[in-house]
Amino acid sequence: MVVSNVPSGAVPDPVVELCREFERGGFRAWVVGGSLRDVLLERTPKDWDLATNATPQQVMQLFKRVVPTGIEHGTVTVLWRGGSYEVTTLRGEGAYTDSRRPDRVHFITDIEQDLARRDFTVNAIAYDPLLDRLIDPFKGLSDLRAQRLRTVGRATDRFAEDGLRVLRAARFVATLEFQLEPETLAAIPSALDSFRRVSPERVRDEWLRTLDAREPSRGFDVMRETGILAVTCPDLVEQVGCTQNRYHAYDVWTHSMKCMDACERGAVHRLAGLLHDIGKPRTRALSDKTGDYTFYNHEIVGARMADAWLKRLRFSNEHRERVVHLVHHHLVCYSDEWTDAAVRRFVRRVGIDRLDDLLDLARADALGKGRDVTDELASLQRLEQRIAQVRQQGGALGIRELAIDGNDVMQHLQIGPGQIVGKVLEELLQRVLERPELNEREALLETVDEVAKRLAVGE
């Protein structure tokens, strides 16, 4: 639903008071951008952005606590009443020779001229909370009602200025659940040269924001259709039309989209859902025995491909390791015939801290097959129950849970730090995984000499 006016109380009192403080100083301020767009869509804004006719220097004189976050482009952050507010001086812009930022900016006093430089009409609306007045020179409110994403002015011009805007268009299709206006959609392929010049970090951040949408597949389908994806991650394009075996109703691309949408543990988890089968096109083969497609070791190949791509896009080590681990382990082939020791070995291999991530990915993987997966979901539920049971039995599922540690091993063997200490602990853990009752301090210490001797002979 879209409201025609800003509802009373929708703009928090501190924001209104901030605008009033500008007025007392002889200036004006307007609520702009995504915060206003969300209010008009009856959503709760994550933050509040303001535009003002005061220069950054005047803003810093007007308020006691100001952070010059982007002062060269007219932006500062005002710390006010327990919150932080990004305030940008009304501005006009020069050429974008780097397809990223304007070569120069000049400050202006007309709010409508400032709105004219923005990317999409739904982001080119301003609101004066003191006068209760909406300023909408480019019919953004009409586009909000029509759930339509349209550039301000000619789409080719807007996209040529900042190459990232084509990816932002795909992101807004997902997060706002809008459709691209035909001219805007048609302008994307010709803007890909500008997009290629966008830094990996900016692309990465847009992907993460897209993955936060209710159905991120909306945005990724736009990326695929317009060529954005071929620039960013051509490995994923190989999935389109890649037929799977009889257990799947969809090609690899559609399955990945369904799996990604079904992931429930945030943007990084959804990224693992998107990439979990990235290795399938490279490993697909037709079996002479079954006459069906196989994908041997696709999880291993896929983990290497995902790792290389995540490095190129400069994801954090934490995010990269989490995604690669999930891609590598995403095949969960549980059987009720597993022994308790097999369940413990599974938990050990996956890692207790990654277990919830993996099981949720396995559920999403099943849901993305496009057929009845009642049995698979029930099997995963039984595996969770088995894991809970073996954890209640005690024992150890990791080296840190052993009744002795590295210091105990070194003291017992009268040696210093070295590889042998870790190898002894790993061997002890393998024994405890088979027989949890062995996880007692005295029992483990009695075994250390024998294990160390055998490992030394093996070396």
Q: How many CB atoms lie within 10 A of CB 405?
A: 12
Residue 3 confidence (pLDDT): 57
237-241, 250-254, 434-438: range with lowest mean pLDDT: 434-438
Cα–Cα distance, 169 to 185 (Å, whole number): 9
Residue 104 confidence (pLDDT): 65
CATH architecture of the domain with range 13-146: 2-Layer Sandwich (3.30)
Region 148-232: CATH code: 1.10.110.30
Cα–Cα distance, 306 to 327 (Å, whole number): 8
Percent of the chain predicted with pLDDT > 70: 96
pLDDT beyond 90 at 396 = no
Residue 320 confidence (pLDDT): 97
Phi, psi of 93 (to 5 degrees): -130, 150
List of residues 6+ apart from 395 with CB closer than 8 A: 344, 401, 432, 433, 435, 436, 437, 438, 439
Token representation of residue 363: 């559920």
Confidence of residue 271 (pLDDT cuts 50, 70, 90): very high
Q: Taking residues 388-416, what's their average pLDDT?
A: 85
Token representation of residue 354: 């990654």
Confidence of residue 96 (pLDDT cuts 50, 70, 90): low
List of residues 6+ apart from 417 with CB closer than 8 A: 406, 410
Residue 2: left if φ>0, alpha if ψ -120 to 50, beta else—which one? beta
pLDDT beyond 90 at 319 = yes
pLDDT beyond 70 at 26 = yes
CATH architecture of the domain with range 236-393: Orthogonal Bundle (1.10)
What does the angle CA 192 – CA 195 – CA 198 come to, to the nearest 5 degrees? 165
pLDDT beyond 70 at 457 = no
Confidence of residue 432 (pLDDT cuts 50, 70, 90): confident
pLDDT beyond 60 at 1 = no
DSSP at 65? -
Q: Which residues pair with 105 in a beta bridge?
A: 93
CB-side neighbour CA atoms (13 Å) of 12 = 17
| Dihedral (Cα; 422, 423, 428, 430), 10-degree rounding | 110
Residue 98 confidence (pLDDT): 52
Tens of pLDDT, residue by residue over 202-213, are: 999 999 999 999
Cα–Cα distance, 50 to 69 (Å, whole number): 14
pTM for the structure as a whole: 0.86
Residue 435 confidence (pLDDT): 85
Residue 281 confidence (pLDDT): 96
Residue 95 confidence (pLDDT): 53
Q: Which residue has the higher pLDDT, 396 or 293?
A: 293
| Contact call for residues 248 and 333 (beta carbons, < 8 A) | no
| Contact call for residues 293 and 285 (beta carbons, < 8 A) | yes
Confidence of residue 277 (pLDDT cuts 50, 70, 90): very high
Q: Which residues pair with 229 in a beta bridge?
A: none
Q: What is the mean pLDDT of the chain?
A: 91
3-class secondary structure, 244:
coil
Name the pairing type of β-strands 91-93 and 105-107: antiparallel
pLDDT beyond 90 at 312 = yes
Q: Which residues pair with 113 in a beta bridge?
A: none
Q: Taking residues 138-155, what's their average pLDDT?
A: 95
Cα–Cα distance, 352 to 359 (Å, whole number): 11
CB-side neighbour CA atoms (13 Å) of 380 = 20
